[in-house]
Amino acid sequence: MKRATLLENGLVVDGTGAPALAGDVLLLGERIAAVGPGLRGRLPDGLSLADVDVHDCNGLAITPGFIDVHTHDDAIVLNAPGMFPKLSQGVTTVVTGNCGLSVAPYVVQEPLPPLTLLGNSFNYPSVAAYSDAVRDAQPAVNVAPLIGHTTLRFACMDDLTRAASADELGAMCMLLEQCMVDGALGLSSGLFYAEAMAAPAAEVTQLARVVARHGGVYATHMRSEMAAILQAMHEASDTAFAAGVPLIISHHKCAGPTNWGRTRETLPLIESLALRQDIAMDVYPYVAGSTVLREDLVDEVIDVMVSWSAPHPEMTGRMLASIAAEWGTTQREACLRLKPGGACYFQMREDDVQRVISHPLSMIGSDGLPHDKHPHPRLWGAFPRVLARYWREQGLFSMEQAVYKMTGLSARNFRLRERGQLQPGWLADITVFDPVRIRDAATYEQPLAQSEGVAMVFVNGTLSFDKGRATPHRAGRLLRRELGSDSNSASGRTPRPSPST
C-alpha cells in the first residue's frame, strides 16, 4: 500500500447537503488531505505521484462513509468482524446499543429476550472491557456504542416487572457514569419491551441526567409506536428536556393499520418540539419492522414473516398465516408455539415511510438484526435502497440530501467528531459508488443478497472494500465520544460551516 490515495475525477458529495462538485479527494494516511479539482497537479510538499495510489472515479460519487446510526451490531462486530453486510453497503461506522439493548456493561451466560437480539456474547462488565474486545477483534467498520437502559436494568435488578428502587437506580447511574467516562455516546431505551416497560419516565430521566453531564445523547425506542404514539413522544421529549440531553427518536414509524397516516400528526409534533430542544429521528426504508416474536404484535390482519424460531427452525422464512393454516390454529396461537423467535411485521404504510424519510430531521439507520437466520432485508440493503428507491426512483430528495442523511447529519446528531463530511484534516471514512447502478438486492424472500453499485470503501484511510469484495485490511475502531469537540457538534438542522484546516 502506498502512502497516499487519490480518488480522481469523481462527483464529490461532501456530506453537508451542499451541491456535488466534480473533483478529487486525496487521502494521506488515515486522514483526508485535500478535496477539490485537479489535485494531482498540486500534491502537498514531499509527496510525488509515485507515492500515490490513483483511482479513476469517473462517473462515480465520492462521499463520506455511511454511518448506520441504528444497529444491533454490538456482538457481531466481535464475532464476525468482516461486517460484510454493512461494508458492502458503504457503511463505515455502526452505532451500537440501540433500543435499550447493549452488550456492555453486563455479564451473563444465557441472556434472556430481548437481549437475545444481540446474540449471546454478554462478557463485558464495562465499556473499557468492550473496547478492548473491539480492538482485539479489529472489525472492518468503526463502532460507536450507546448504553442500553434495559441492559442496565438486567445488570442491577432482580425483578424487571417493576420500577427500579432508589438503590437500584443509584447502581444503574454509577454503571452508566463509568460507561460515559470510558467514552460511550449516550443512553438508549426500549420502553416498548416488557423488560423496560415498568420503568417510569423518572427512572429514565435520572439516567439521562448522567449522560447530560458528559455531553452524550439519548435515543429511544418509545413506549408506543401505535395508538399511544403521541403520548410516547411527549414522554420521550419531556425526559430528554428535563435531563438536558439531545433526543433521538429511534426508527420513527406509525405501526398498525389503525395508525396508518398518522405521521401527519407525529412529524408536526416533532417540529414543534424541535423549537425547544435538540431532536432528531432515524428511519429505515421499508414498510416492515422486525423484532422478537410477540403475540401482542400479531393482529391477524398484517402479514408476519418468521425470521427465526427455536422450537420450529423449519418455519424460518415462512408467513405466519400459512403456518397457522397448516396447523389449524389462529396466528396468535401459532406465534406462541414458535416462540422464542423473531419476525418481520408488515406494520407500516408506504406514505408514512416516505414522509418520515423525506423529513429534514430524519437520518438513516438500518435496525438490521445480524443474528436472525432469515433476517429482515434491511440488514443487507438499507443504505443502497434509500438511494435507489427514494432518491433515484421516487425523487423524494436530491442525492446530496440522501447522502447528508447517511453521513453529515448522523455524525452531528451522535457527536462523532471529524467524521461524516469530506473535510481536509478529517478522518478518511469514504464511500465511492455508482449513482446510476447503486441498489439493494436483499428481499424478504432472499435477504442475504449483497447490494450493487458500491465501488470502494475506505475506513480510516484504508481501502477495505473494492470491486465487490472485502480487502484483507480491516481498519475499524471504537469511536469514543470526545469532550469539548465543537468542530462537529449538534446544532439545529442546518449544517454548520466547517472549520478550514
**Angle at CA of residue 285, ends 76 and 362, nearest 5°:** 95
Separation CA 452–CA 443 (nearest Å):
13
- In the complex with Zn ion, which residue's Cβ is closer, 99 or 255? 99
Separation CA 449–CA 32 (nearest Å):
32
* Nearest distance from C-beta of residue 452 to Zn ion, angstroms: 28
Q: Which partner from the list Zn ion, Cu ion, none does 278 bind, CB cut-off 5 to 8 Å by kind?
A: none
- In the complex with Zn ion, which residue's Cβ is closer, 20 or 115? 115
Separation CA 25–CA 93 (nearest Å):
20
Separation CA 124–CA 133 (nearest Å):
9
Closest by CA to 157, choosing from 148, 147, 167, is 167
Separation CA 323–CA 99 (nearest Å):
29
- In the complex with Zn ion, which residue's Cβ is closer, 252 or 389? 252
Q: Which residue is nearest to Cu ion (CB)?
A: 99
- In the complex with Zn ion, which residue's Cβ is closer, 197 or 436? 197
Write out the binding residues for Zn ion, residues 185-224 only, by CB under 5 A: 221
Separation CA 65–CA 81 (nearest Å):
17
* Nearest distance from C-beta of residue 129 to Zn ion, angstroms: 25
Q: Which partner from the list Zn ion, Cu ion, none does 280 bind, CB cut-off 5 to 8 Å by kind?
A: none
Q: Which partner from the list Zn ion, Cu ion, none does 421 bind, CB cut-off 5 to 8 Å by kind?
A: none
> Distance between terminal CA atoms of the chain?
26
Closest by CA to 494, choosing from 356, 358, 361, 355, is 361
* Nearest distance from C-beta of residue 479 to Zn ion, angstroms: 21
- In the complex with Zn ion, which residue's Cβ is closer, 183 or 375? 375
Q: What's the DSSP call for residue 242? A: H
Write out the binding residues for Zn ion, residues 220-239 only, by CB under 5 A: 221
Closest by CA to 237, choosing from 282, 201, 268, 207, is 201
Q: What is the 3-state secondary structure (H, E, C) of 139-187?
A: CCCEEEEEEEHHHHHHHHCCCCCCCCCHHHHHHHHHHHHHHHHCCCCEE
* Nearest distance from C-beta of residue 114 to Cu ion, angstroms: 10
* Nearest distance from C-beta of residue 91 to Cu ion, angstroms: 16
* Nearest distance from C-beta of residue 191 to Cu ion, angstroms: 13
Q: What are 466's strand-pairing partners?
A: 456, 469
> Is residue 99 involved in binding Zn ion (CB under 5 A)?
yes
- In the complex with Cu ion, which residue's Cβ is closer, 352 or 367? 367
| Interface residue list for Cu ion (CB under 5 A) | 98-99, 367
Looking at 35-43, 92-100, 346-354, 420-428, which segment touches Zn ion (CB under 5 A)? 92-100
* Phi-psi map region of 340: left, alpha, beta (phi>0 left; psi -120 to 50 alpha): beta
- In the complex with Cu ion, which residue's Cβ is closer, 35 or 115? 115
* Nearest distance from C-beta of residue 89 to Zn ion, angstroms: 20
3-class DSSP state of 64: strand
Q: Which partner from the list Cu ion, Zn ion, none does 464 bind, CB cut-off 5 to 8 Å by kind?
A: none
* Nearest distance from C-beta of residue 379 to Zn ion, angstroms: 14
- In the complex with Cu ion, which residue's Cβ is closer, 98 or 263? 98
Residues in contact with Zn ion by CB under 5 A are 99, 221
